[in-house]
């Protein structure tokens, strides 16, 4: 993905797709996400806060269909946030 508003993306072989709706470099990324046959996008927001020599990431994902909430929550942890944490801690 790049850091431009309007950039479209796909993940997991097209199972997830969307676009960047707001980008504030080194601070905020807001994306519209679709998965499956969702009629409206969910909204994913990454907020970055510098804390000395570290960066805190806050992830907020809203408008997820109730039937998919648990899988989405677990997916964020297992496939993104935990591996990201492990990656940056090795550096």
Query: From CA 57, how far away is CA 69, in angstroms rounded?
Result: 20
Domain membership of residue 83 (yes or no) is no
CB proximity list for 63: less than 8 A, separation 6 or greater: 40, 41, 42, 43
Domain membership of residue 88 (yes or no) is no
Per-residue model confidence (pLDDT) at position 1: 76
Parallel, antiparallel, or unpaired: how do β-strands 16-24 and 8-11 relate?
antiparallel
Domain membership of residue 59 (yes or no) is yes
Chain centroid, CA 87 distance in Å = 17
Domain membership of residue 70 (yes or no) is no
**Can you give the residue range of the structural domain that contains 43?**
8-65
Query: From CA 54, how far away is CA 37, in angstroms rounded?
Result: 38
pLDDT surpasses 90 at 36: no
Cβ–Cβ under 8 Å, residues 32 and 41 = yes
Where residue 38 falls among pLDDT bands split at 50, 70, 90?
A: confident
| CATH code of the domain covering residue 47 | 3.30.530.20
């Amino acid at each position: 993905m790049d850091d431009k508003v309007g950039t479209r993306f796909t993940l997991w072989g097209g199972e997830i797709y969307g676009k960047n709706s707001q980008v504030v470099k080194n601070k905020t990324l807001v994306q519209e996400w679709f998965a499956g046959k969702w009629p409206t996008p969910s909204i994913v927001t990454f907020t970055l806060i510098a804390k000395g020599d570290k960066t805190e990431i806050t992830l907020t994902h809203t408008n997820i269909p109730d039937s998919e909430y648990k899988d989405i929550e677990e997916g964020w942890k297992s496939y993104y946030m935990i591996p990201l944490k492990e990656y940056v801690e090795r550096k």
